[in-house]
């Protein structure tokens, strides 16, 4: 594979990943729109069902009227036969035949309306169940997204706070170290000052003849004579 082909492949991969990232970022918005579209389609189906049910009701009413007319003209035909008026009875029978044809057509139409109503009802119930399940899944996804976003925020803040706390602790340690060093220097300075003060006082006492001078030959000789005299007496 040439360098150019590799570059094109890499660019295609990057574009694909970018496209997926955009799609994922818009997933919830797309899902909400899909649910709204499904709700709109469902409402349209319900309106269509209401229209077909109205036609079904009108068709059932027409069929009932036709059946009543058939019964009525059959009664007329029977009365004509009772009066021996066969021609009139035949004419009425023709009317009954026409009404029966009309009845058969109305029954077929009513059957078609009834079948459509049942099919549409089943489709609407299925759609309602699917939309309900889709909404539940969407709510779950949204809740999970919110929780994960909150967890990510908390984790980020915790990481940042841990870093800040560690920095503060390091600063405190440095401050304590400096304080300890400063304290040690102050103690040393105090000891040096006290030692210098004691040396100055001893020097004043020796100068006044109150105490013996350090390293005085006469005092050492006197001490040795005292020791010798003591040993003879013993």
Tell me the average confidence (pLDDT) per consecutive run of 10 residues in the chain, 234 residues long. 58 61 70 87 92 95 95 94 92 94 96 94 91 87 82 72 72 80 76 66 69 63 75 66
CB atoms inside a 10 Å sphere around CB 59: 19
End-to-end CA distance of the chain: 118
Question: Which helix (H) or strand (E) is 84 found in, with range?
Answer: none
Q: pLDDT value at position 179?
A: 79
* 110 Cα distance to chain centroid: 52
Predicted structure pTM score: 0.52
The CA-based angle 118-122-124, given to 5 degrees, is 115
Q: pLDDT value at position 13?
A: 66
Q: pLDDT value at position 135?
A: 87
Q: Where are the domains of the chain?
A: 47-137
Q: pLDDT value at position 43?
A: 92
- Which ranges constitute the DSSP H helices of the chain? 3-25, 27-82, 86-207, 217-233
Instruction: Measure the CA–CA gap between 103 and 227, rounded to whole angstroms.
Output: 162
Q: How many Å is the Cα radius of gyration of the chain?
A: 58
Cα separation values, 10 from 5, 21, 92, 113, 166, Å: 9, 16, 89, 60, 41
Instruction: Measure the CA–CA gap between 162 and 98, rounded to whole angstroms.
Output: 94
């Amino acid at each position: 594979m040439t360098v150019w082909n590799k570059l094109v492949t890499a660019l295609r991969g990057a574009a694909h990943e970018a496209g997926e990232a955009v799609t994922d970022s818009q997933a919830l918005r797309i899902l909400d729109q899909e649910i709204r579209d499904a709700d709109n389609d469902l409402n349209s189906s319900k309106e269509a069902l209401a229209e077909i049910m109205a036609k079904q009701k009108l068709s059932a009413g027409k069929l009932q009227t036709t059946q009543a007319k058939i019964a009525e003209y059959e009664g007329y035909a029977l009365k004509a036969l009772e009066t021996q008026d066969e021609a009139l009875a035949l004419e009425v029978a023709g009317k009954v035949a026409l009404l029966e044809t009309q009845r058969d057509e109305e029954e077929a139409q009513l059957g078609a309306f009834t079948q459509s109503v049942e099919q549409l009802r089943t489709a609407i119930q299925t759609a309602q169940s699917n939309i309900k399940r889709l909404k539940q899944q969407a709510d779950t996804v949204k809740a999970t997204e919110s929780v994960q976003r909150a967890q990510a925020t908390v984790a980020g803040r915790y990481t940042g706070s841990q870093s800040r706390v560690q920095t503060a602790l390091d600063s405190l340690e440095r401050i304590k170290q400096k304080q300890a060093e400063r304290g040690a220097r102050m103690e040393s300075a105090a000891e040096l000052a006290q030692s210098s003060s004691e040396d100055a006082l001893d020097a004043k006492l020796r100068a006044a003849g109150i105490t013996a001078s350090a390293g005085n030959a006469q005092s050492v000789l006197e001490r040795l004579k005292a020791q010798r005299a003591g040993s003879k007496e013993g």
